[in-house]
């Protein structure tokens, strides 16, 4: 119902992101850490996802899973199964998963050529 006193606003258009075939790499140091985490059991997979949040808009989400209900692309890299949700494929295409040692311990680091900016801690991107 339009009372005639407000400007008419166009309806919001939802844009579904394009699904792309993800190509990603894993550094040697990350492969070593994944080997330690998986052991000889390669039935599990590394789920590489993106969550809304963080100081730059998106945060990376890495999990070791048996399976997932999400629609994912499965990529095999040197005996590791990597799952990438199709909904975030456009954000994760071309990434490198690395593992770096830091003063306060080590951790996985995502090098993302699609990120326009990243926060200082490297945990989130836009």
pTM above 0.85, yes or no: no
Q: 41 or 120: which carries more pLDDT confidence? A: 41
List, in order of start, the domains of the chain with CATH numbers. Answer: 25-120 (2.60.300.12)
94-115: average pLDDT:
88
pLDDT digit string, tens, across residues 21-40:
999 999 999 999 999 988 88
Residue 63, strand partner residues: 47
Q: Which two tokens stand for residue 65?
A: 């899973």
Asked whether the beta carbons of 49 and 58 are under 8 A apart, the reply is no
5-32: average pLDDT:
82
């Amino acid at each position: 119902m339009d009372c005639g006193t407000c400007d008419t606003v166009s309806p919001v258009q939802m844009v579904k992101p394009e699904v792309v075939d993800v190509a990603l790499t894993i550094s040697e140091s990350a492969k070593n850490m994944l080997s330690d985490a998986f052991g000889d059991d390669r039935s599990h997979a590394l789920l590489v996802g993106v969550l809304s949040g963080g100081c730059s808009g998106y945060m990376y989400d890495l999990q070791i899973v048996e399976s997932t209900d999400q629609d994912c692309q499965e990529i095999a890299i040197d005996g590791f199964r990597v799952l990438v949700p199709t909904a975030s494929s456009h954000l994760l295409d071309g990434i490198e998963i690395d593992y770096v040692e830091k003063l306060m311990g080590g951790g996985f680091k995502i090098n993302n050529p699609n990120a326009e900016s990243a926060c200082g801690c490297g945990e989130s991107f836009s």
